[in-house]
Chain A
């Protein structure tokens, strides 16, 4: 189908964009359009006003500092995938981005759009949860930072107010040489994942865990950190028993079921991808088996 009629606005600044969102009824922000446009073409979404932020300067780009990485909300997924600097500082991004849609959707799709739309199976919001990212929002009262733990409100729901836009996402990179793993199971490459998981691991010279982070996505309505496992593993090594404990935690999640994938199957796959991601992060036989 075709999108229902709407008025189109192309503001030139974040202030103008927020002004439009504050005054217009039933307005939606158009970022990369790779989720909103399908919804509009299917008439699952029918905004009266579209506020296109593609021409707002300053919203796209990568700033990689020693202690902080900041990604502009309008940075295209293709640019993130192509960035060798990002791959060096946070290699989990390149591992994950290969699973984000297809070459054609990554050319337009943005990290900010993905983090505002919040499909449960989306990879980039899961990485933001994994990295304890801060979401920099701008609204009528100026800027505010939202921590990842407060950003995810539920199915397709972020903490962003209707008259705010997301400007950037920032996080502290893990120490150089940290372990990382990313795995997902989808029916076809690039499809929405049945379940996926990502893991980061920092270890001391004896192999004991100094810090671990594990996120499971596509299982519950929003990405879930395995916080109890992350705490329990500190000071211990990642062995098969530890991996089984993490898998078990994933299998206890409150999984969604749908016409294609039942909740039981999704829980089971959640356990599998957590094990694969952790094995990969720990350098145990590649994790692919």
Chain B
């Protein structure tokens, strides 16, 4: 009863593993599936660093058990781009200096990735509201909002 086999999709690939039922999705992604781009900050849903996309919606992976992801479609920071081939959103973060230490950045990016898919022309105010669930202790957020606006613009231009 304390271990359970789960089958799910992570970044488009079918994955399977046996996990302790008490392990949350963030820890399973990092330690079971080796995807260490998802960061674990506060572990109680306050900081947003562990945000991943679950079935199309941004969710805190520290507040979801790995066993609850059975059958789910999970997207993590590893799905966005590569160091030499950044996604438009990652490129915007680089261009606008929207990170310093980078700890919160995977959560910022996955929150914005999910949000921008649904909202191609957000206002700065909407971006600020969406980012209210992600804490950054370095940047003061202005550059992050700038990056989100640039990424939204790039997305509109690309379509």
Contact = CB atoms under 8 A, between A and B. Distances in A.
A37 interface: yes
Contacts of B59: 104, 107-108
A234 to B, nearest CB: 37
Interface residues of A, number: 32
Interface stretch (B10-18, B40-48, B77-85): B40-48
A105 B60 contact: yes
Interface residues on B, range: 20 to 34
Interface string A4-22: 1111111000000000000
Contacts of A260: none
Given A8-B1, A8-B4, A108-B64, A2 B24 contact: yes
B54 to A, nearest CB: 7
Interface of B is mostly: mixed
B129 A189 contact: yes
Interface in A86-132: 98, 101-105, 107-108
A54 B54 CA distance: 14
B23 to A, nearest CB: 8
A1 B60 CA distance: 15
B130 A4 contact: no
A38 B63 contact: yes
A105 B68 CA distance: 15
Contacts of B67: 8, 10, 52
Contacts of B46: 38
A10 to B, nearest CB: 8
Nearest to A42: B44
A103 B116 CA distance: 13
Interface string B118-147: 000000000011101100000000000000
A34 interface: yes
A41 B26 CA distance: 13
Contacts of B117: none
Contacts of A188: 132
A229 to B, nearest CB: 32
A83 to B, nearest CB: 15
B64 to A, nearest CB: 6
B133 A104 contact: yes
Given A1-B43, A105-B45, A41 B62 contact: yes
B1 A7 contact: yes
B38 interface: no
A190 interface: yes
Interface in A21-61: 30, 33-34, 37-38, 41-42, 50, 52, 54
A263 interface: no
B44 A103 contact: no
B70 to A, nearest CB: 8
B75 interface: no
A216 interface: no
B103 interface: no
Interface of A: 1-10, 30, 33-34, 37-38, 41-42, 50, 52, 54, 78, 98, 101-105, 107-108, 188-190
Given A8-B65, A102-B132, A104-B58, 7 more contacts: A2-B22, A2-B23, A7-B2, A10-B67, A102-B48, A102-B130, A104-B133
Which 10 pairs of residues, A with B, have the shortest CB-CB distance?
A102-B133, A38-B44, A8-B21, A107-B57, A37-B63, A189-B132, A7-B1, A190-B132, A107-B59, A41-B43
